[in-house]
Structure 1
Amino acid sequence: MRIFLNYRTIDSVYAVGQISKQMARHFGRVHVFRDQDSLSLGALYARRIRAALDESDVVVSVIGTHWLDARDKRGVRCIDNERDWVRMELRIAFERGIPVVPVLLDDTMLPVPDSLPDDIRGLTLSQGWRIRHQTLEDDIDGLIRRLTPGATKPGSSAGAQPAATQRNSATGHGIVVANQNGTQNVTLNDPRGR
């Protein structure tokens, strides 16, 4: 499993470092791409980012409270700029058919379709995961379990396909968030009652 971490530094630095660290421990450092950890000195940023996306099996897009409304020096939302790296990485992933998993931090809501540019609106239809500051390590472990190829969910037999009604439920820590047909569905199935 090769994972590309997509994030906006302004709102997710506390989580992305820990996500990267735990994923590297599980999947191996060379299989987790985070620009700060993975780019060598002198690397051509744009070329290396595109190459890393080409090699990725999944893009994990970490979304915090300022992800959508972060603004540039002119006061324009960064996400509205076609050259915004967060947007470009997501656009490339969707164009290439790479699955994108939105990871929502704390009480951040999944953006509604009308709040995003057309080329990345697929994000609002992607099944995601929630990570809370108070349970950070456990929630990241739950995400890793869900991303691990061949991993089975508690209570299911190996190779069994979950029923359609189970598609949006989390059986481990964390919360699975799905947004289908423009309506946000949040399924809370957390044994700790968060």
Structure 2
Amino acid sequence: MHEFFLNYRTQDGKEAAHIFDTVLSDRFGPDSVFRAQKSIAPGTQWVDMLIGGVRRCRVLLALIGPGWIDAPHQRRPGRRALTDPKDWVRREIEEGFAAGALVVPVLLERRMEQLDPLRLPASLRPLADCQYERYTTRNAEADLTRLGDRLIRQVPDLASLDRRGGSDKATGERSPGSREIRTGRQRGGIGGVHGDVGSFINEAHGPLHTGSGNQLNGPQINGDGTNYVAGDNHGGIRQRFGGPQRPGNDT
């Protein structure tokens, strides 16, 4: 059983489909992704393979590029491919909805706008109401990591196939095996650094204690009304607190 079915138009989704296949297969296993060009063996009945692949998948990812909605019909000039009930992109999505798969529209690149239901056949209008994901070539790794993490939360069975571990965005905690890459510089204050390096301290202007136990840094007296004495102290310190004291009581 393939967990993911990749639905796309060859004209503007073939390259993205190959990247999705590579990344998702690496994370969830080589048999987890159905991509027609890879998954249909020579000599097999490809119609049965396509329909069966959709019906058995858990997640259908509809990769939607800028030319997806207006792709011309190959045999009927002046008509859009989506208007044909036999259009395979359309049929696969319809089968996905009918089979109860999680159908996720993935908008390719920033210029791709959200789907307008009025421009879709009636059978595909629910696709415009599905929460979409966005994928850009520039941020391919981050986008596909985020997508995988979200799909695991929606389809918990995927967690048992996850080879790298996800991240819980709500709590900020990282699952075992996951990696976190941080860039940039940190200045000032005390910040946490993941790993076994302890605390990060930058630009301290006074005594610091980052371990356990007591630390003394010169004479210091704590309490209400006390003074802080800097430098070496070679004598006693006397100080009176509060109001007048009874005769004979030095403090």
Give the Cα separation in 2 of the matches to 1:129 and 1:103: 5
Shift of 1:110: 2.2
Within the alignment, does 1:110 sit opposite 2:114 as a pair?
A: yes
Q: Flag as ranges the 4+ runs of structure 1 deviating above 6 A.
A: none
Partner residue in 2 for 1:153: 168
CA contact (8 A) 1:68 1:79 kept: yes
Partner residue in 1 for 2:228: none
May I ask how many residue pairs the two structures share in their alignment? 158
Shift of 1:51: 1.1
Q: Any stretches of 5+ residues in structure 1 without a counterpart?
A: 159-194
Give the Cα separation in 2 of the matches to 1:117 and 1:156: 41
List aligned pairs for 1:34-53, cutoff 5 A: 34-53=35-54
Partner residue in 1 for 2:181: none
More strand by percentage: 1
Kindly indicate whether structure 1 or structure 2 has the higher relative contact order, using CA contacts under 8 Å at least 6 residues apart: 1
Partner residue in 2 for 1:56: 57
Q: Calculate percent identity across the aligned residue pairs.
A: 32
Shift of 1:157: 8.5
Shift of 1:152: 5.5
CA contact (8 A) 1:94 1:120 kept: no
Partner residue in 2 for 1:91: 94
List aligned pairs for 1:8-87, cutoff 5 A: 8-73=9-74, 74-75=76-77, 76-87=79-90
Give the Cα separation in 2 of the matches to 1:137 and 1:62: 16
Give the Cα separation in 2 of the matches to 1:101 and 1:83: 21
Q: Quick check: which has more Rg, 1 or 2? A: 2
- Per the normalisation by structure 2, the TM-score is 0.60
CA contact (8 A) 1:4 1:52 kept: yes
Q: Any stretches of 5+ residues in structure 2 without a counterpart?
A: 160-165, 174-251
Give the Cα separation in 1 of the matches to 2:102 and 2:92: 12
Give the Cα separation in 2 of the matches to 1:137 and 1:68: 26
What letter is aligned with 1:140?
Answer: L
Give the Cα separation in 2 of the matches to 1:115 and 1:31: 32
